[in-house]
Amino acid sequence: MEKELTFDGGQSTNTPLTPNSNAVAVKIADLNNDTLISFMSLDATYWSALLSSSTTTVTNNKRKGNGIVTFEKGLEVEYIALAEGYYMIIVTGYIIDNKITYDLVGKSLGIFSSIPIAERLAGLADERAML
């Protein structure tokens, strides 16, 4: 059986979405599994979202893009907790590229390793004790 490729803190994915657009997801190593997703066309970022174990869904609030690619209002990224130690980022919604509409439904932007819940809770307790 083939092992699924996963990413640790500081690593990133670069996923093609349409012929002229892509999404870059970067996991930031912290207790909440913060992951920054940037939606790009021709090396310019038009929309970014920050997901975490506490902010699991972010929705694009207006059309954004250039003359070639438009990231439609309602495009949504979601953090999905998987088995202990992993989570996945997916995107759902519409992107218009060169006047063609692409319907993305649960497209994976990567599976990332997660800090286990017990470690997160212990880390939060340590942070509070320092206050």
Number of compact structural domains in the chain: 1
- pLDDT of 2 reads 45
CB within 8 Å of 123: residues ≥ 6 apart: 31, 115
d(CA 97, CA 69) in angstroms, rounded, equals 4
- pLDDT of 117 reads 63
Bridge partners of 49? 37
d(CA 12, CA 32) in angstroms, rounded, equals 17
- pLDDT of 1 reads 42
> Is residue 24 domain-resident?
yes
- pLDDT of 113 reads 86
Other Cβ atoms closer than 10 A to 14: 13
> Is residue 1 domain-resident?
no
Q: Which domain holds residue 126?
A: 12-130
Q: How far is CA 95 from CA 42, 49, 71, in A?
A: 14, 16, 5
> Is residue 89 domain-resident?
yes
> Is residue 99 domain-resident?
yes
pLDDT means per 10 residues, the chain with 131 residues, are: 51 93 89 92 95 95 96 98 89 98 97 73 64 67
